[in-house]
Amino acid sequence: MKVRPLTIDGAWELTPVQHGDARGLFAEAFKGDLLAEVIGHRFDLAQVNLSVSAAGVLRGVHFADVPPGQAKYVTCASGAILDVIVDIRVGSPTFGTYDTVLLDDVDRRAVYLSEGLGHAFCALADNSTVTYLCSTGYNPSGEHGINPLDPDLAIDWPTTARDGTPLEYELSEKDTAAPGLHEAAASGLLPRHDDVTAYLRSLAD
């Protein structure tokens, strides 16, 4: 498996080696020992989520309170998405920036994002199926969002689907009503970089 660090500290792209023949293919989609070496501590799997999205669906930007936060290992088993990782850690050198990775059923890449980062994606094909391995379970009181169309984030969302047709964005009511980045920061909703760093160090002890 090939590992590439993203431009945001605490996020990586992981590309498996695929072994194929006339019957199909096989790939190691997740390797716990390798991931632990990359992130500096064991990834404790608490919950697996799955979403199926039509082309144009935007999900995110979602994040959780730290501690404990929620680290995610995200793959797209069918279809394609543009996955977006946003640095929402107040005080971070890259606060407010984002990086993107194409996750699809061709290269079968994954992304890992550590606690304290924001996550979003845009589905590029109908029935795009995404799985999320999560370090903590769902905690509605500790999970939040930022509007993915917030002009302060200025995410360059794709405008065409994988088949070349124009995309029409569709958001949930919750994501549509979510605050912008600076509004969330002013309200104290966002994690602080120093707090996240201290928490991640505690996981490595």
Residues labelled as active-site residues: 62, 132
154: left (phi over 0), alpha (psi -120 to 50) or beta: left
Q: Report the chain's terminal Cα–Cα distance, integer Å.
A: 26
Burial pattern 170-193, b for ≥16 Cβ within 10 A else e, equals bbeeebeebbebeebbeeebbbbb
Structure tokens at 119: 């996550």
Residue 181 · residue 89 · CB < 8 Å: no
Neighbours of 26 (CB within 10 A): 12
Nearest Cα to 49, choosing from 134, 159, 142?
Answer: 134
- β strands within 88-134, DSSP E: 98-104, 110-113, 117-123, 128-134
Closest CA to 168 of 128, 129, 122, 130: 122
